[in-house]
């Protein structure tokens, strides 16, 4: 298939030390607690508190970006490792195939 890439699986997403549920104005601002934009072309770093306020996450998982622009720019790379994004894409292809293929309806 022309659209396929190597059979090697993508690297696992980089785990975060804390998630969005850990963000609170009551927490002290620990400068060692940082979050980095997941777009390899950007890599902007913010304190955890600021990242929770301003960073944007993937709509399907917990990958964070410093802006919508970075999220869009990284999508072609990220979708290879985003299982929920891949499932949605696969479902759309199956539904489109079923709509366009009359033989499926005869089964």
Residue 24 within a domain: no
According to the model, what pLDDT value does residue 18 have?
Answer: 47
Q: How far does Cα 82 stand from its chain's mean position? A: 6
According to the model, what pLDDT value does residue 37 have?
Answer: 97
Residue 100 within a domain: yes
**Quick one: tokens of 4?**
């396929």
Of residues 21 and 72, which shows the higher confidence score?
Answer: 72
Q: How far is CA 15 from CA 72, 76, 98, 99, in A?
A: 20, 20, 38, 39
For residue 88, give its domain range: 34-105
Q: How many domains does the chain have?
A: 1
The dihedral sign for the CA sequence 62, 37, 83, 105: positive
Residue 25 within a domain: no
- Give residue-wise pLDDT tens across range 25-76: 454 455 569 999 999 999 999 999 999 999 999 988 889 999 999 999 999 9
Residue 101 within a domain: yes
pLDDT at 90 over 70: yes
According to the model, what pLDDT value does residue 31 have?
Answer: 55
Residue 89 within a domain: yes
According to the model, what pLDDT value does residue 99 have?
Answer: 82
Residue 5 within a domain: no
Residue 3 within a domain: no
According to the model, what pLDDT value does residue 95 have?
Answer: 82
Cβ–Cβ contacts within 10 Å for residue 37, how many? 22
**Quick one: tokens of 75?**
């999508």
CA atoms within 13 A on the CB side of 26: 2
Question: Phi-psi bin for 43: left (phi > 0), alpha (psi -120 to 50), beta?
Answer: left
Token look-up 């309806």 returns 105
Task: Tell me the pLDDT band of 1, cut-offs 50, 70 and 90.
Answer: very low
């Amino acid at each position: 298939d022309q659209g396929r890439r190597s059979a090697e699986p993508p690297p696992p997403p980089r785990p975060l030390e804390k998630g969005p549920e850990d963000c609170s104005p009551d927490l002290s601002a620990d400068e060692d607690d940082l979050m980095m934009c997941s777009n390899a072309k950007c890599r902007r770093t913010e304190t955890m508190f600021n990242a929770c306020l301003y960073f944007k996450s993937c709509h399907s998982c917990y990958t964070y970006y410093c802006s919508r622009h970075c999220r869009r720019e990284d999508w072609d790379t990220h979708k290879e490792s985003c299982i929920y994004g891949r499932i949605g894409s696969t479902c759309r292809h199956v539904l489109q195939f079923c709509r366009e293929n009359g033989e499926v309806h005869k089964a």
